[in-house]
Amino acid sequence: MRFEAGYTTGIWLKRPLPTLAVLLFLATLPVSVFGHPDILLQIEILDAKIEAGPVSAEVLIKRGDLYRRHEDYPAAARDFEAARELDPGNSLLDFYQGRLLLENGDPASAELHLARYLSSHSQHAKAWMLRGEAGIRLGKPASAAEFFDLAIKNSKAASPALYRLLILSLLASGESNWNSAEQTVESGLGHFGIEVTLLGLGTDIALARNRPEQAQRYLDLLPVALRGLAQWDRRIRIADCMTTSAAPERTQCERLARSNLSDQVHAFMTEG
- Rounded to whole angstroms, the Cα distance separating 60 from 37 reads 18
- Domain borders along the chain are 1-90, 162-272
Q: Which residue has the higher pLDDT, 33 or 38?
A: 38
Quote the pLDDT of residue 37. 56
- Rounded to whole angstroms, the Cα distance separating 147 from 9 reads 48
Cβ atoms within 10 A of the Cβ of 124, count?
20
Q: Is the pLDDT of residue 27 over 90?
A: no
Q: Residue 97 contacts by C-beta under 8 Å, 6 or more apart in sequence?
A: 77, 80, 113
Q: Is the pLDDT of residue 9 over 60?
A: no
pLDDT by residue (tens digit) across 76-110? 999 999 999 999 999 899 999 999 999 999 999 99
pLDDT by residue (tens digit) across 215-265? 999 999 999 999 999 999 999 999 999 999 898 899 999 999 999 999 999
CATH topology for 1-90 is 1.25.40
Helix (H) or strand (E) holding 195: none
Provide the pLDDT confidence category of residue 53 given band limits of 50, 70 and 90. confident
Quote the pLDDT of residue 212. 95
Quote the pLDDT of residue 243. 93
Cα dist from 94 to 18, 58, 87, whole Å? 33, 13, 12
- Rounded to whole angstroms, the Cα distance separating 270 from 119 reads 28
Calculate what percentage of the chain has a pLDDT beyond 70.
Answer: 86
- Rounded to whole angstroms, the Cα distance separating 94 from 84 reads 10
CB 141 within 8 A of CB 173: yes
Choose from 12-16, 21-25, 35-39, 256-260 the range with maximum mean pLDDT: 256-260
Q: Averaged over 172-198, what is the pLDDT?
A: 96
Quote the pLDDT of residue 77. 97
